[in-house]
Amino acid sequence: MNAESPWTLDAADCWDLLRSASVGRLAVIVDGAPEIFPVNFTVEHSALVIRTGDGTKIDAVRGHPRAAFEIDGVEDETAFSVVVKGDAKEINAPDELRDTVSLDVSPLQAGTKNHFVRILAEEVTGRSFPVTDPATWRSALSDASRAPHE
């Protein structure tokens, strides 16, 4: 990864990581509060596309289009996190739907998933950092939860 600094990923690296993943978390507003859903997705130019069924996610996108999306993971002892922020919009135009149906965005869960949502990326940020050896964080409290109860 070409990080601008040890902590910040440039936009190209963020998009490369997004293209290498298939599952992320969609954050939307539901009943006035933030909710986060695991979803599968694909990258389409400078946007993300998810496929979902009737229910909470599509209702949230229709009511409050501002959304955030995150992926994270570990590669070769380096952890990363990428966040995309933008407006989410249901894809309804017939010509757009034809193009979208051909994208590889098959839901992981069974059921009817007949809604496609595009998140137009307005802000893409990411960071990476070396994974720290867990022994670094050991302290007297490390084994406290494992102590037998009397």
Q: How far apart are CA 56 and CA 2, in angstroms?
A: 38
What percent of the chain is predicted at pLDDT more than 70?
81
Reported pTM: 0.80
Band (pLDDT 50/70/90 cuts) for residue 149 is low
Band (pLDDT 50/70/90 cuts) for residue 92 is confident
Gyration radius of the chain over CA positions: 19
Q: How far apart are CA 57 and CA 75, in angstroms?
A: 30
pLDDT digit string, tens, across residues 26-41 = 999 999 999 999 998 9
DSSP state, residue 45: T
